[in-house]
Structure 1
Amino acid sequence: MKQALIIGASGQIGKMATTLLLEAKQHVKALVRDKNKLSEITNPGLSITEQDLEGAFSDAFAGCDQVIFVAGSGGDTGADKTLLIDLWAAAKAVQYAKAHQVKHFIMISSIGADDPEAVSGDMKPYIVAKHLADKHLIDSGVPYTIIRPGRLTDDTASLKISTVRPEDENKLKISRENVANVLLHVVTKAEPNNQIFEIFDGEQPIETALS
């Protein structure tokens, strides 16, 4: 039985992706710190494991062929949590995936992670963490897809995106629902062929933009 592990399934994008995958008849294992945050999702295809990403969580990978890392420290935490979750927990997840011979690791990263030196201000620690987590995955030998969204919004999903970075800074954005639908496509239709995408709201259907 194929099963996707979603790390950070109780976050906004994680919960959307969990719901979409279950609706698509996928089996999902949700890794969360508090299972009550998924209490509204009832589906026989869902199993929930409570783990703290600051500790060991290797057991969650058992029986999973794909992993989605969508956990994040959150915008209201300090650099310490950014280091522990966005970098260290992501690096541990990659090592666990390798040990369990996971076939596809899908990392939600961020625009700017390709060049942290170009970033300044409060966001830089987060971007540096994402850059190093991405590099750890790339160097690991685990088949991967790295997704780098633009600025996240709460707009309704248009189901249309672009993988070309807009010149207009006001268009460097994408709805969380669009990101979740990109995850649905990558899990169910994409081949794990070591690709990196930047994604923004755009004019192409998701499948076309990612083909």
Structure 2
Amino acid sequence: MKILVAGATGKTGLRLMGELKSRGHEPVALVRESSDTGALPSDVELRHGDLTNLQDGVCDGCDAVVFAAGSGGHTGPEMTDKVDRDGAKRLVDLAAKAKVARFVMLSSVGADDPDPEGELAHYLLAKHHADEHLKASGLDYAIVRPVRLTDEDGTRDIVLGDDVDVGGKAARGDVAAVLAEALDSDQWSGKAMLMQSL
């Protein structure tokens, strides 16, 4: 499949690009003009687009889309809204217009019912709105909600769904593997699931 990846140069996105290539897919990296693309595989197609101002046609010709982007922990609420909420919603709309087969959203533990008093309240509310927009889009979707991320590769020993320990950890390598699996696995169709690494 030809798969557009938003957030392809991020810590999880880079792992996902390699994972998709190893599975025989054709990943397409959605990148800003200013993005450092040096770590991406040299033969990967680049599509230029900014999540704060996505243009029409960015999903055209793609079979699936993965949103693995994030505004980052050091940006303010305004950028969180622009990228994690509005950028994600716009990408969903463009994917629906392009009639992609599936949209996979990298979300977060707590996004289903954000705690308004929590320290991540604003971020989780933005993710919640993006997730709900995807659910209502008519697209075949999968929403992956990892617990606290670590920069490890992981062992692919993964727990999904109700058995997840919300206080546990999720290795980025494992998250990338789950995102890739969620693109064409029937078990993920129309589902939002928690995930953790063991």
The alignment's TM-score, normalised by the length of structure 2, stands at 0.92
Q: 1:51, CA displacement in angstroms? A: 1.2
Residue type of the alignment partner of 1:49: R
Residue type of the alignment partner of 2:110: G
Query: How many positions carry a matched residue from both structures?
Result: 195
Which of 104, 107, 110 does residue 108 from structure 2 map onto?
110
Q: 1:36, CA displacement in angstroms? A: 5.5
Q: Does 1:15 align with 2:14?
A: yes
Residue 4 (structure 2) aligns with: 5
Gaps of 5+ in 1: 203-211
Q: Secondary structure at the match of 2:103?
A: strand
Q: Write the distance in 2 (CA, Å) between the matches of 1:15 and 1:4.
A: 14
Gaps of 5+ in 2: none
Residue type of the alignment partner of 2:72: G
Residue 84 (structure 2) aligns with: 86
Given that residues 54 and 87 in structure 2 are in contact (C-alpha distance below 8 angstroms), is that contact kept between their aligned partners in structure 1?
no
Q: Write the distance in 2 (CA, Å) between the matches of 1:10 and 1:40.
A: 7
Q: Does 1:71 align with 2:66?
A: no
Q: Does 1:50 align with 2:14?
A: no
Q: Write the distance in 1 (CA, Å) between the matches of 2:142 and 2:87.
A: 18
Residue 165 (structure 1) aligns with: 164
Residue type of the alignment partner of 2:176: A
Q: 1:40, CA displacement in angstroms? A: 3.5
Residue 190 (structure 1) aligns with: 185
Residue type of the alignment partner of 2:185: A
Q: CA RMSD in A?
A: 1.7
Residue 179 (structure 1) aligns with: 175
Residues 69-88 of structure 1 show CA distances to partners (whole Å, capped at 9, x for unaligned) of: 01101000110011000000
The alignment's TM-score, normalised by the length of structure 1, stands at 0.86
Q: Does 1:140 align with 2:137?
A: yes
Q: Write the distance in 1 (CA, Å) between the matches of 2:19 and 2:54.
A: 28
Q: 1:114, CA displacement in angstroms? A: 1.0
Residue 127 (structure 2) aligns with: 130
Q: Does 1:24 align with 2:19?
A: no
Residue 201 (structure 1) aligns with: 197
Q: Write the distance in 1 (CA, Å) between the matches of 2:120 and 2:57.
A: 32
Residue type of the alignment partner of 1:130: K
Q: Write the distance in 2 (CA, Å) between the matches of 1:102 and 1:121.
A: 35
Q: 1:126, CA displacement in angstroms? A: 0.3
Q: Secondary structure at the match of 2:136?
A: helix
Q: Write the distance in 1 (CA, Å) between the matches of 2:33 and 2:8.
A: 10
Q: Identity, % of aligned pairs?
A: 33
